[in-house]
Structure 1
């Protein structure tokens, strides 16, 4: 049950606007730390916090107003030069903005946030009084309690008077045995009230800055709203009007033709009207697609704070440079890109950037630069995360993968540098000597690769020892339209993502060799395995494939053997939510009206690898039989 009855719309508007404002404040605080005398920055930060406080006041979020007011007072003293910016003061301010963001989490659940941590309030008051000194002890942030953990202090470990088995309920929710603590005052109340009370009590009992986030990361709902420039909406409206006029013209011509008027003038007018409709529909499609596009800067704006906090915790001096923030990307991609970019930035700061002493010994500047850049290249968006750190050692990566049992010695011996770098994407791979709260479990880079592949993208690594590492992500401009290559197996067409296609090659029997029990081809000096489309789909192979499509992924290159191909199409993807056969990413309709399956090549290839692939005899059986 929400505590904001009748104010839900106002609450949602506040959370969207205040979230953007707070992200902007965080970025400006990072800039302020580098330029503590910039009064313009201080004024902008002050205005941002003042606006957040005003919105919180409308919602009667008293504790949020209190925290914002104290922080605002500190900013006021800084901008009036009554105090000066120090690292300790910045730590307190950053903790305050973190606590404000945590309070937003409560508001997302329709719950009034509890009071901020007492230690944080005391530190803010000391800072305002100019009494905050270096080395002032501060409580560490605590993990955000969830609904499950919040139930611990209030759930009865017995059957209550209301007949509910609280032990069973608690075990079903948390998967753990129920505690013995009982609070009779909460029995019989609405579950949301119990959860709210528990969260508030748990937050006030715990030491540390900040309160709980409203949902766990995995439970956070997607933001389905989108901001659209009115000029783009006007364009859509104008095109809709033009299409309406053209439709009326076509209806009139249809009536004339049905009435028996089929002279050359009428047919010419029909041809002109159809051509005009085709052009208008294409323009409308492009205009509608543009309404989905959002500046990637809205995604980038939260990363400077993350990089700053991590670098300070590791004792490193790192500056995150943002480039190409105006580059637009499909709104549906933004949330899926958030985690991969966070992992890449954390990886760059933790693993890529050397400690300050090592940088100075190597003749490098004390401050390291991590670059986050976005740009559009053709029909793709390219995102780059680059550092000027120690770089990657291909030989060490191979040795570590062998040590962990992820690859064999034979596989390691034939790997080139590019393949060695891609080992970091294997689940469980990590070069960290020990697990920390930042890295070491071998999960982060696997998440990066998995999320990028979900977006039909690719990721490439370039590295030079002593100079740094560059991760390059390439993504389609939009997920609504996917360029595909239409290939054929007998008379049946299938579509494969064009982003994976490098070229089309003829398959000739004399060029097919068998290596390790698999059919292979040599393409410009590289030995590539051949997989038949019929074999991947589990269909009988009635004909010997005549063409091979050179496919390239982050993990491997291979040749997809097909009967023939029909050309390139821009596929409008229709997802199969209720029923999705294995190896099928979606469906599309070709220009001739034929329905075509869009293949998930990664899933199909994984199945084929489990079954051992295609032998040369299987590939050429039909042709050899005919020749005999």
Structure 2
């Protein structure tokens, strides 16, 4: 890659990653329906495009592996071979190797070659009857191609590359009566040759380039041949076709922007929001009509600008979902299980940083759902279930939050078994374990070191994982809860904010300090007389008509002296999953959008704190972690 600019290499890495993500899902669909010609062509084009870009950049290990896959897929396209399970296993393994190679290129290191046995696994093992010769339609001269549309089709582009290398694609038209000789020592084409091919199709010659002879108008016969032996890597700026050229009369509607620039803009928006909040606070003191109007206009403009910038960072969760058909397929095959994955709501959008951060937790939940949840086919049949298990992955936006669901129809989780296992491992006090309800027992799976798996595997069950998943979700400002029913399956619900940059909060005060509570976790604010408080197991509670609400006094939690007197108590009702508890505060200051800042060094790692921010009066306010506070009430 010494002769390639960093910009071209970066473009290739981005586009290659998108192709790899699509190929995992496309291969799973093709394995379900091997006769789907459209899906087969899509998979073939994916490997072919990767090979072309890798060849242009000189990434030989990627070229070799893509070429082996392309040979087998090309034979299947021409009807000379039938894809069998070994081919699909090889194709899925090749995606893992291609990902590792792409990661190496991104890191600036030399990628490793795929093992020879993987290349050999692509060898044809199932032959099909040879198809009858196909008569190709007459191909017009290149000058006619620019009549009504300057765009070239995929087939035309493939045929042009084949022509340069002296090989015809199976079933493709021969575009030249006399092909241009290919380079003797190398299978790669130069940039000048590539430009000349494109110019030929559009009826114009590139300056200084040798034009390729136009195709003769006479019809030619294209006979299906074995898979192509020579590789034909070529630079391609987009998966479908080369980019539009100047003068084609079609304006560009998108532009590729470095994400670091977007992050910088978001940070500036955050500072603007802080300045707006400060002005709104000052406005109430100065009480000037002109200032009121100016601040109101600034408030509207800031909100619109904030919304527009946030949308530029939004990405569909489908970017993460696309990798799970391959994950589910690989895990199910390794465990000899049959699992069908259903994905819903892939178009739901999240902040780019959240989409990337959710990848690992979701992978773990999907793998656990297949390993721990879905039973073996024989076990499912014996219990009256279909042989094929179902795993559902769904996303849905709910206000300023997105809910992601991972649900299986497996054996479910036995709460009593969880209780016994937690006592056996010494993860919970026996007396505390005895007081837990069924739903509370399910939460034990999130304890560090907890596992009910009796057999250790490479898939899951090593006693680590679910606690890490919960910690990661909490770091993202979200929450995770579990629901399960014996014999019916298990459901994990993840709820995360749309963005991590701006957080709607409810400001409360305890003593002289102000604290921020995530508004999405606030259910209601109520007032109660001190005499209405009760005590249960040494902790304060508030008796309500439908239930007993456990309470936590924020002043006591902070180590402050409790308020004296018989004045009414202000209680903020917070929710964590299906559980609720009340937080006693001195007063509620109101709602405010805040910019999340890292915690001061002295507070990092302390439970109950999620971040810091500057509020409208210029003071520092700590953002409280609702899950950490909830732990203090249990």
Fold match by TM threshold 0.5: yes
Deviations 1:501-556 (A, max 9, x none): 22333343333233333333334554444322122222333546822222333596
1:603 shift after superposition: 4.6
Structure 2 CA distance, aligned partners of 1:307 and 1:79?
A: 26
CA contact (8 A) 1:533 1:560 kept: yes
Question: Which of 540, 543, 547 is matched with 2:570 structurally?
Answer: 547
| 1:349 and 2:347 correspond | no
Give matches, 1:29-48, under 5 Å.
29-48=27-46
1:431 shift after superposition: 1.0
Aligned residue for 1:91?
89
1:6 shift after superposition: 5.7
CA contact (8 A) 1:422 1:555 kept: no
Structure 1 CA distance, aligned partners of 2:86 and 2:498?
A: 43
Question: Which of 336, 351, 367 is matched with 2:357 structurally?
Answer: 336
CA contact (8 A) 2:81 2:124 kept: no
Aligned residue for 1:72?
70
Distance 1:95 1:6, change over 3 A: closer
| 1:369 and 2:390 correspond | yes
Q: Please, which runs of 5 or more residues in structure 2 have no aligned partner?
A: 129-251, 266-287
Structure 1 CA distance, aligned partners of 2:435 and 2:630?
A: 21
Question: Which of 563, 574, 593 is matched with 2:597 structurally?
Answer: 574
Aligned residue for 1:453?
474
Question: Which of 610, 613, 625 is matched with 1:588 structurally?
Answer: 613
1:592 shift after superposition: 4.8
Moved more, 6-15 or 557-566: 6-15
Deviations 1:384-431 (A, max 9, x none): 111111122222222222222222333233222221211111111111
Distance 1:604 1:272, change over 3 A: closer
1:334 shift after superposition: 1.5
| 1:560 and 2:583 correspond | yes
CA contact (8 A) 1:485 1:566 kept: yes
CA contact (8 A) 1:77 1:128 kept: no
Deviations 1:285-307 (A, max 9, x none): 11011111111111111111011
User: Which secondary structure does the structure 2 equivalent of 1:587 belong to?
Assistant: strand
1:594 shift after superposition: 4.6
Deviations 1:237-278 (A, max 9, x none): 9xx9xxxxxxxxxxxxxxxxxxxxxxxxxx988866654443
Moved more, 526-535 or 394-403: 526-535
Q: Please, which runs of 5 or more residues in structure 1 have no aligned partner?
A: 131-227, 241-266, 614-628
Moved over 6 A (4+): 267-271
Aligned residue for 2:190?
none
CA contact (8 A) 1:4 1:110 kept: no
Distance 1:282 1:509, change over 3 A: closer
Aligned residue for 1:436?
457
| 1:599 and 2:597 correspond | no
Deviations 1:5-41 (A, max 9, x none): 7633322221111011011111100111111110100
Aligned residue for 1:257?
none
| 1:402 and 2:423 correspond | yes
Deviations 1:209-262 (A, max 9, x none): xxxxxxxxxxxxxxxxxxx984999xx99xx9xxxxxxxxxxxxxxxxxxxxxx
Give matches, 1:201-600, under 5 Å.
230=254, 275-524=296-545, 526-543=547-564, 546-554=569-577, 557-576=580-599, 580=603, 582=606, 583-600=608-625
Distance 1:566 1:277, change over 3 A: closer
Distance 1:68 1:129, change over 3 A: farther
CA contact (8 A) 1:504 1:548 kept: yes
Deviations 1:404-461 (A, max 9, x none): 2222333233222221211111111111112111122221211111111111111122
CA contact (8 A) 1:73 1:128 kept: no
Distance 1:562 1:587, change over 3 A: same
Structure 2 CA distance, aligned partners of 1:543 and 1:570?
A: 32
CA contact (8 A) 2:341 2:391 kept: yes
1:74 shift after superposition: 0.6
Name the count of aligned residue pairs.
480
Aligned residue for 2:13?
15
1:52 shift after superposition: 0.5
CA contact (8 A) 2:4 2:57 kept: no
Distance 1:12 1:490, change over 3 A: same
User: Which secondary structure does the structure 2 equivalent of 1:125 belong to?
Assistant: coil
CA contact (8 A) 2:83 2:126 kept: no
Deviations 1:351-392 (A, max 9, x none): 111110111112221111111111111111010111111122
Structure 2 CA distance, aligned partners of 1:296 and 1:595?
A: 34
User: Which secondary structure does the structure 2 equivalent of 1:93 belong to?
Assistant: helix
Higher relative helix content: 1
Q: TM-score if structure 1 supplies the norm length?
A: 0.71
CA contact (8 A) 1:232 1:290 kept: no
Structure 1 CA distance, aligned partners of 2:579 and 2:292?
A: 49
User: Which secondary structure does the structure 2 equivalent of 1:436 belong to?
Assistant: coil
Aligned residue for 2:181?
none
User: Which secondary structure does the structure 2 equivalent of 1:405 belong to?
Assistant: coil
CA contact (8 A) 1:74 1:128 kept: no
1:574 shift after superposition: 3.0
1:478 shift after superposition: 1.3
Aligned residue for 2:215?
none
Distance 1:20 1:277, change over 3 A: same
Larger relative contact order (CA 8 Å, sep ≥ 6): 2
Structure 2 CA distance, aligned partners of 1:100 and 1:332?
A: 24
Structure 1 CA distance, aligned partners of 2:100 and 2:404?
A: 29
Aligned residue for 2:121?
123
User: Which secondary structure does the structure 2 equivalent of 1:466 belong to?
Assistant: coil
Aligned residue for 2:168?
none
1:100 shift after superposition: 1.6
Deviations 1:32-73 (A, max 9, x none): 111111010010011111111111111111222111111101
| 1:103 and 2:128 correspond | no
Structure 2 CA distance, aligned partners of 1:104 and 1:405?
A: 44
